[in-house]
Structure 1
C-alpha cells in the first residue's frame, strides 16, 4: 500500500486576490545636504545693484506711508515699534489730556525771534523783557515736564505695576510729546483735554 501525498495544486485565484504593495514614501529620493544648501543660497550682492536699491527704497517708502497712516488713524498694529503697547498708549493719552507748558514753547520762541529781528527798531526795554520772558518760559516748561513725569510714573505703577517702568525711554517719550504742538503730534491725539485715562 503506497501512501502518496497529493501534489500541491497551483491555485491561480490566490495570486489574483493578493493586494498590490502600498507605498508610503514621497516617491522621490531625499536631497543631499549639499543640494539643499545650494538651493537655499542667494547671492550676498545682487547682480543688479541699482534695481535692488530702487526696490528697497520703494519698500521703505511703502512702510513709512503705512506707518504714517496708522499714526493718523490710531491703528497700533501698523505703528512704528516705539509707539506700540498699552504703556505707550497710556502715556500718549495722559499727555494729550493734560495742558502742558511745553506745547506753547514753540509759539513763544517764535515771538521772541520776531522781537530779536526788530531789536534795532524796538526799545531796549521790550527786547530785554522778551529775553527774560523766554528764559522764564524755558524754566517753567522744564519744571512742568518734571511734574508731568512724576504724575505719570505714579499712574503707570498703579495701573501696570512696577515692571512697566522697566521699559527704557518712557520719560523722554512723555516729555518730548508734551513739547510738541498738539495738532502736530504723531500718533494723533485720541482724547480731549481733561479726559484723562483711567
Structure 2
C-alpha cells in the first residue's frame, strides 16, 4: 500500500560524524527535484509577493549580519574605506569614559530623587564632573587620532574624521555598528590598506 522512502528506512540511532552537516547527502534525483521546486514560478500573485517578501527578508538579514561583522560591501558609505576602519579600531581599542556615563546618570537620578538635598547636590556635582571628564576625553581622542591619521594616512583628507570618531566613542561598546573588531588595549596593525 504505502511505499517507504529511504529516510524512513534509515536507522534513527546513527551517530553523527563530528564536523558533518548532520544529514545524508541527497541523491541526484532529490537534488534536481529540489532545484526544480525552487525555480518553479509562482502560480498566483499571493505566492509571488510571499516569495518576493521572503527574498527581501533574506537579503536584509544577510546585509544586517554583514554590517555587524564589518564586511566592506555591506557597510554604509560613511563607514567604508581603510581610514574609517582604522578610526573604528582606534576608538574601540581605547577605554572611553563615555561608557561610564549611563551608570552615572542612573546613580544621579537615584540621588536626585532621594529627597535629601545633600545627596541631590552630590549627584549634580557627580554629573557635572563626569560631563567635564567626557569632554576632556573627547579632546584627547581628537588630538591622538589626528596624530595617528597624519602618520598612517598622510595623503588622505581628515575632514569629518573627528566627528566620526566622537560619534562612535559616544556609543556604548556593545551598541556600536559595525561591531568592534579589536579589544580594549589591543595593538593596532601598522597598515590598513
Query: Which TM-score bucket, shorter chain as reference?
Result: 0.5 to 0.7
Q: Where does residue 119 of structure 1 map in the other structure?
A: 114
Q: Where does residue 191 of structure 1 map in the other structure?
A: 182
Does structure 1 retain, via aligned residues, the 8 Å contact 2:109–2:123? no
Q: Where does residue 105 of structure 2 map in the other structure?
A: 109
TM-score by length of 2: 0.64
The structure that has the greater radius of gyration is 1
1:89 aligned residue (85, 90, 102): 85
TM-score by length of 1: 0.63
RMSD: 2.3
- In structure 1, runs of 5+ residues without a counterpart are 1-54
CA distance in 2, matches of 1:146, 1:108: 21
2:164 aligned residue (165, 173, 189): 173
Cα drift, residue 115 of structure 1: 2.4
- What does 1:1-198 align with in structure 2 at a 5 Å threshold? 65-116=61-112, 118-120=113-115, 123-165=116-158, 168-197=159-188, 198=190
Alignment length, in residue pairs?
A: 139
Does structure 1 retain, via aligned residues, the 8 Å contact 2:99–2:173? yes
Cα drift, residue 154 of structure 1: 0.7
Alpha-carbon distance change, 159 to 109 in structure 1, aligned in 2, over 3 angstroms = same
